[in-house]
Structure 1
């Protein structure tokens, strides 16, 4: 079995109101030095060793993310 991480974020040109709210809250709490916050989704998958990178990209782009407004990164990690 292999462990796969898929991180999904709104594309840079898409408004992220949740990220903006977090950034504003940081300012109110006195946290400085944070220029921007983007909020996304984090998925952890356990897949059979036969699942190839193309299949993982297909899963991410059709099931986990909306390719119109989101981008994603798929990475295999060692257990």
Structure 2
């Protein structure tokens, strides 16, 4: 069965997010003052052939730990759909 897996990778909350800071500055320059913080991350969609949703999640987690996210600077969340 083919599963669609969404991987969201975000910078660790403890670290400065330079892209987010640049965007918040741009928004404020445009007069949009209500937004207090911006964090920029990645959304990755994987199509995984696996026997079960748990196996698809395990494959996605392995791929994310090995290549898609830098654990020193980022955390990730995985969501599996059929």
Instruction: Give the TM-score taking structure 2 as reference length.
Output: 0.85
Cross-structure match for 1:46: 47
Question: C-alpha root-mean-square deviation of aligned residues, in Å?
Answer: 1.4
SS of residue in 1 equivalent to 2:78: strand
- Per-residue CA deviation, residues 31-56 of structure 1 (Å, 9 max, x unaligned), is 13211111111111111133612222
Shift of residue 22 of structure 1?
0.2
Separation of aligned partners in 1, 2:68 and 2:42: 9
- Per-residue CA deviation, residues 14-67 of structure 1 (Å, 9 max, x unaligned), is 111111000110111111321111111111111113361222211111110001
Q: Which residues in structure 2 correspond to 1:26-37 (within 5 Å)?
A: 26-37=27-38
Separation of aligned partners in 2, 1:50 and 1:19: 39
Shift of residue 77 of structure 1?
2.7
Cross-structure match for 2:10: 9
Task: For structure 2, list consecutive stretches of 5 or more residues without a partner in the other structure.
Answer: none
SS of residue in 2 equivalent to 1:30: coil
